[in-house]
Structure 1
Amino acid sequence: MSKASTYIASVIFSLLLIFLMIGAALAGVLRYCALDTETALSIVDSQNLPARVHAALETNVKQQESTTGIPYDVYAEAITVEQLAPIIRDTVTNGFAYLRGDTASLGIQPDFSALEAKIREFFISYAEKNGIKQNETFEEAVRSTTDAAEANILAACDVFRFGSLNDAGVIKKAKVYVPWAGIAALALIAAVIIFACILFLINVHEHGNGFY
């Protein structure tokens, strides 16, 4: 091989090696950092997201109090930082597991029994004070209010917006490619090693020819 040909081959393999290294790095970051649950949970902790979610829910409930007629005290115990923190963590863990294909369903079912009891207690008290019959219509009002409250809390705790992304069809599309990110990273790393060896051999051959 002539020196010109060797030089051109060296340049080409060097450029390919650079692109392969960039690709391997991006695939590795995507699979082992961007999609890593522990990384996401560390963000939840470092950004103090449970406290932020609590503040947002507190403001929302108080603003709606004049419309719904339900006082903040009914919801207060269910939206403390201590109650919200595990819901947020479980939502994040489930969301990334679903995205990676490690679980078949998106979403969690926290224990809202205390909140449900508080809402029912409020409705019963209100009905008794105002002479309202506790019939099917009454039960439907309790159920709809409870469902709305739980949905509101779950939506607020979905800090990475997995639900919205899923509704928009983004997660469905991403799930097709995400499982291949790890394989792609390993394949690209293998390609980097191969191309690095080839480039090394080209340079060794060129230096060897220089001695003659």
Structure 2
Amino acid sequence: MFKKVFKTLLLLFLFAILALTVIAFVSYLRYSKWEEVELSKREIICTSDITQESSGEEGLGVVIEDKIKKFALSDTKTDFVVLTEDEMLYLFLENFTKEGDVKVEDICLKPSKGIWQLYLKTKYKKISLPWLVLDIVKDNIETAEVYVREVHLGDLEFPAFLETRVRDDLNRGISDGVIMLNENNFLGRRIDNIELLEDRVIFKGTR
């Protein structure tokens, strides 16, 4: 009797291992195909694209700084600052932490009206991790609120409980950042609206 039970449990264990192996292999093939196809799309730009341009990263930094200064020092009550997709990509690259065990290897953007997809390629110590994809959304109302709607690993979905936690943490960070920016009057203006477009972001500020 004991041998029969043991044999049954062993078979179930081996079947579970086999099933997990098959699932992992299929997921790997699916992710690899997604990575090959998705990142070759023309509408996606990556940090490698802006570093290869003649202006380079340093040139983008100067351009952004000049735009922010003009926005902050403008005499008009309401003014706007427009940042291109290249400039936003540069800001993402500069502001993601480069210290600690987790480092950002590459960042890509796929902008469209009302939703920007942000792709993050990270590594933990020397281990390269899958692409993390964030859907950053701005509703069609005048507000400075943008939020992360979905989080994926490539085209693979997170477990629901984990996605909710990651998404909530990211949205809390975005909200706190906008509040801090307005309360401390860093730009000399209050940011009233953020508009995500196909090739640029428009910030509306008032005094």
TM over 0.5: no
The structure in which a higher percent of residues are helix is: 1
Higher relative contact order (CA 8 A, sep 6+): 1
Q: TM-score, normalised by structure 2?
A: 0.29
Instruction: Name which one, 1 or 2, has greater alpha-carbon Rg.
Output: 1
The structure in which a higher percent of residues are strand is: 2
